[in-house]
Amino acid sequence: MSRSATRERIEEKADALFYEAGFEATSFADIASAIGISRGNFYHHFKSKDEILEAVITRRLSATQAMLEAWDTDAAPKDRILSFIRILITNRTKIMAFGCPVGTLTTELAKLDHIAEARAAQIFTLFRDWLADQFRALGHRDDADALALHVLARSQGIAVMASALKDEAFLRAEVAALEAWLDQLPDHTPTKG
């Protein structure tokens, strides 16, 4: 099963529009006209809107997995966690406009009572497990998962409020506070040899 270029473009545009306008507010016509194809052509690749959502979530899961694996090459666990936290800075413009893509999609699907909600929440699980690994590497055996969830929650809160306030200074201040929290965490990294 080859992945056609058209299918790829549909997924890419759907991914962007689901983020910027929301899943429900995005229509087939919006996606089709944005990439310059007919609605019929669309139907050749995806039979229903739910099928596109499925593809977008799969796409995001893969992208997240790839990003985390890339960060795994960073030397210190704390630096890896910092990489995660700094997504908020890197993507600040979009976050201030549309919030976090993961959090907002999960929230929307929850309200729609959509079956894909659990699958969208899986993206959080990837971050959660990866972050917990880093905290375990820092010697936090018992509370690694709780610390991972704490970082996730803090990040989500920053995204929501930055979007509501449209305030970059707030975003930067709260990111700095989160980094300070991480910095004062006891580091029990076991030394080799």
Partner DNA sequence: GTCTATAACTCGATAGAC
Partner DNA sequence: GTCTATCGAGTTATAGAC
The residues binding DNA (CB under 7 A) are 2, 4-6, 26-30, 36-45, 47-50
* Residue 28 interacting with a copy of itself (CB under 8 A): no
Write down the residue that tokens 């995001």 correspond to: 60
Whose Cβ is closer to a copy of itself: residue 45's or residue 159's?
Answer: 159
The rounded distance, in Å, linking the Cα atoms of 134 and 84 is: 11
Residue type, 98: F
> Shortest approach of DNA to residue 169 CB, angstroms?
37
Instruction: Return the range that interacts with a copy of itself (CB under 8 A); candidates 20-28, 38-46, 58-66, 79-87.
Output: 20-28
Closest approach of DNA to the CB of residue 106, in Å? 19
Using CB under 8 A as the binding rule, whether residue 22 contacts a copy of itself is answered as yes
Interface mask (CB under 8 A) for a copy of itself, residues 129-148, using x and -?
Answer: -----------------x--
89 binds a copy of itself (CB under 8 A): no
Match 């929501």 to its residue by tokens: 160
Query: Of 51, 20, 42, whose CA–CA distance to 119 is shortest?
Result: 51
With CB under 8 A as the contact rule, the residue among 71, 157, 172, 185 that binds a copy of itself is 157
Residue closer to a copy of itself by CB (options 45, 130) is: 130
Contacts of residue 189, defined as CB under 8 A and 6 or more positions apart, other chains included, come to 76, 77, 137, 138, 139
Structure tokens at 21: 């306008």
Tokens of 84: 């995660």
CB neighbourhood size of 158 (10 A): 23
Burial of 175 (0-12, 13-18, 19+ CB in 10 A): buried
Interacting residues toward a copy of itself by CB under 8 A: 20-22, 24-25, 97-99, 103-104, 106-108, 110-113, 121, 124, 146, 149-150, 152-158, 160-161, 163-165, 170, 173-174, 177
